[in-house]
Structure 1
Amino acid sequence: MKPSRLFYAVMMTFWMVFLTMLAMVFTYAPQGGVSVAGLHLFAGAALVEGQVTAMAAIGLSDTARSVVLGLLGGLYFGAAGLTLFSMLFCVFGEEDEQRDARPLSEGAAGCAALAGAVTILVGLAGGRIGELLFLQLLAMAGLVLIVLAVAQTEGAEISEKSDAARDLDDVIANHAAANAAFSARLANLTRREFEP
């Protein structure tokens, strides 16, 4: 049974919001958070503390730490954007757009994998793997699920198309056989008429 488009929309929206929040953690938590509509969001730096400590242990300057955290945030914002477009193409698109959803979801998974690799490398080199790595691995698993779901949708559509093409080939073959039989009978009758 093929899952509905609503299921894909809800699943992809969840992971897109998760990736966006993860990107905002990397962007705003080291700065002490951000105030939005009277709320102070991402105020606790506990999630990125392990990463910042590992970068300090390696000997990265404050500017280099900001660049690494900005890179990680940018990768997750990119993954969220690619997931959004993948959802739009997969859920609301026609057949051509639905085929383009898979490379977009694979690109989102690639961005998350690259961000996770940077976190692991820095964490291992600095001797401190933080709690943030668990969230990154969770995001990576979610994006792999999306890639598999989009690939399954694409495979189901290809099999439906091949079934439709086979049915069309059968109709054409039956029609050609019926025309050939009719032409043979007509030729036989015409020959009998003109024979003495």
Structure 2
Amino acid sequence: MISSRLYYASMMLFWVCYLSLLALVVTYAPQGGVSLAGLTLFADAGLVDTAVAAMHSIGLSPVGQSVVFGLLGGFSAGSAGLLLFAMIFYVFGQEREQHEARPLAQGAVACTALAAMLTTLVFFAGGQAGALLALEFGALGGLFLTVMSLGQSRIEPDVVADMGAGELEQVIADHAANHAAFSAQMASLSRHGIRP
């Protein structure tokens, strides 16, 4: 059904945007933001301050902090990419592609789970708790519910696969009969020619 596909498309598109923004925040906020078309984006974001403080208390060097933030950004971007392909397969694909959408969404959940696990490890080891941890677990919960609802949705079968064997044979027989009648008429015209 088209309404069902639109529902899942809007839900997955929301999580794609959410994860993409989360990846941009953890990538650019520790560097003081990024300038784009005269605008300074993700500057002074309080989302990563607690994470930086936790990593300072652990004793991570600036290079180690960059690696952690890079991993978090990579996991979030990978999750967003997998979910985008899952959305395309489910919304625009046929029955086979719709079946392949669920493993892609499960891969997105796995990437988000790795990001949430890394964030939890850093925050708990540093004795801190921050908004970034809540955002990671919010994304994990939302993606998990999305995958669960995808598993319960009904896949729309292809038109040819939905036809019974008798119906398909009838279509083939009608087509063959029409083709044979047309060929017989063409042969008759070519033998007799057109008389003035």
The verdict on a shared fold, with TM-score over 0.5 as the criterion, is yes
Unaligned runs of 5+ in 1: 173-196
Root-mean-square deviation (Å)? 2.2
Q: Which runs of 4+ in 1 moved over 4 A?
A: none
The residue that corresponds to 2:124 in the other structure is 124
The residue that corresponds to 2:26 in the other structure is 26
**2:105 is aligned with 1:102:** no
The residue that corresponds to 1:137 in the other structure is 137
CA displacement at 1:3 relative to structure 2: 5.1
CA displacement at 1:2 relative to structure 2: 8.9
The residue that corresponds to 1:69 in the other structure is 69
The residue that corresponds to 1:193 in the other structure is none
Alignment of 1:1-40 (within 5 A): 4-40=4-40
The residue that corresponds to 2:155 in the other structure is 157
Alpha-carbon distance in 1 for matches of 2:155, 2:21: 33
CA displacement at 1:135 relative to structure 2: 1.0
What is the identity, as a one-letter code, of the residue corresponding to 1:25? V
SS in structure 2 at match of 1:100: helix
CA displacement at 1:61 relative to structure 2: 0.7
Alpha-carbon distance in 2 for matches of 1:70, 1:168: 53
The residue that corresponds to 1:191 in the other structure is none
The residue that corresponds to 2:42 in the other structure is 42
Q: Deviations over 1:33-71 (max 9, x none)?
A: 011122211002310011111111111111011001000
Alpha-carbon distance in 1 for matches of 2:50, 2:17: 23
SS in structure 2 at match of 1:35: strand
Report if aligned partners of 1:26, 1:69 keep a CA contact under 8 Å in 2: yes
Q: Percent identity?
A: 53
Unaligned runs of 5+ in 2: 168-196
The residue that corresponds to 1:186 in the other structure is none
SS in structure 1 at match of 2:128: coil
Q: Deviations over 1:122-144 (max 9, x none)?
A: 10000011111111111112211
Q: Deviations over 1:109-158 (max 9, x none)?
A: 110111001001110000011111111111112211220122122xx238
CA displacement at 1:95 relative to structure 2: 0.8
State the number of aligned residues.
165
Report if aligned partners of 1:90, 1:150 keep a CA contact under 8 Å in 2: no
SS in structure 2 at match of 1:47: coil
Alpha-carbon distance in 2 for matches of 1:120, 1:136: 9
What is the identity, as a one-letter code, of the residue corresponding to 1:4? S
TM-score (norm 2): 0.77
Q: Deviations over 1:165-188 (max 9, x none)?
A: 8x959x89xxxxxxxxxxxxxxxx
TM-score (norm 1): 0.77
Higher helix share: 1
CA displacement at 1:8 relative to structure 2: 1.1
What is the identity, as a one-letter code, of the residue corresponding to 1:9? A
